[in-house]
Amino acid sequence: YPAGFVYIFLGLYHATGRGSDTRLAQYLFAGLYLLNLLLVFRIYCRTNKVPPYVFFFMCCASYRIHSIFVLRLFNDPVAMAILFLAINLFLEERWSWGCLLFSLAVSVKMNILLFAPGLLFLLLLRFGLLGCIPKLCICALLQVVLGLPFLLVNPVGYLSRSFDLGRQFQFKWTVNWRFLPEEVFQNRVFHAALLLAHLAGLGLFALHRWHRSCAGQLGSCCGMTHPASPVCALNASAWIVFILFSSNFLGVCCSRSLHYQFYVWYFHTLPYLLWCTPTTKLAHMPKVLLLGVIELCWNTYPSTVCSSLSLHICHGLILLQLWYGTAPTPVSHTPPPSRKSTAMSKKAK
């Protein structure tokens, strides 16, 4: 793991009597769980898209999430809590501090990089090509500072092991690809196909959903002008969150393997992804059902052909909803009223 993980868990190690006081560690992670919920709720309040009753499922209905936080004490919740703090800062227009916290989250767990394409898109839209370079330097500089003790001793070993993009996962732990034969799961061609699918998805969303749909509203928020942009259905905060959450979700859908603790990577973003698009009264129950099926898939241990296929079907349905539910609405060009009709309306008055 990267250096930030070492420092945080070294502090937990000493705070819990060299790891002997498990109860204290669980109390600390319970506090982290509540803080994480507070940060997530604050994001959802800014966007104002999710109905209040959905928060019950986020708080109380996930055995797996409670296990990941309080029973297993994984580093994934630590990274996600820092990430949600960074998103709160982005919504407050504190981009430099947000980039600093984003980089800190990356230093705890590399999965935060799934949000990076969306963040890069936002930085380019907000600051332009030259203006976003200082923000990227903040992210890079923090990684250097945190990793300096390791980089001075063994730079190649630290970089190759902390940010191992070619890591081989064990088939027995996969949640999402159980229906495949193990030889296909381990095949490099399959890995390359997933990477291409991920890049294609990011490109399509950036060109046809992130850019065309949200450029006008983001521009009004960020001080940029786009005179030809269509009117956005969501407010600027909602579009910032949409871009970051959908960027991460595309990465999760194309992941080579999802282990059980990886559920926390996107669990708290699922309600937003489901309800950010226009929803009729009859459509609420299918969305709640999707949340329930996803939860059931993640609670099936060990994973089965049925559970992994069901998870992919749910992911596919959410992707289809995001694609079609955020399609740019065509701008209607209504002809100006003729002089004759204007005169007739005046006579009628």
Summarised one tens digit per residue, pLDDT across range 160-190 is: 888 877 777 888 889 999 999 999 999 999 9
Q: What percent of the chain has pLDDT over 70?
A: 86
256-315 confidence digits (pLDDT tens)? 999 999 999 999 999 999 999 887 776 789 999 999 999 999 999 999 999 999 999 999
What confidence tier does 61 reach under pLDDT thresholds 50, 70, 90? confident
Cα–Cα distances (Å) from 152 to 109, 143, 316, in that order, read 21, 13, 45
| Average pLDDT of the chain, as a whole number | 87
What per-residue confidence (pLDDT) applies to 205? 95
- Would the pLDDT of 16 be above 70? yes
What confidence tier does 348 reach under pLDDT thresholds 50, 70, 90? low
What per-residue confidence (pLDDT) applies to 69? 95
Alpha-carbon distance 267 to 134, whole Å? 32
Percentages helix, strand, coil for the chain, rounded to the nearest 5?
75, 0, 25
Q: Please name which of 321, 232, 243, 316 lies closest in space to residue 275, comparing C-alpha atoms.
A: 321
At residue 264's C-alpha, the angle toward residues 260 and 268, to 5°, is 145
What per-residue confidence (pLDDT) applies to 172? 86
More confident of the two residues 167 and 16: 16
Predicted TM-score (pTM) of the model is: 0.88
Q: What percent of the chain has pLDDT over 90?
A: 72
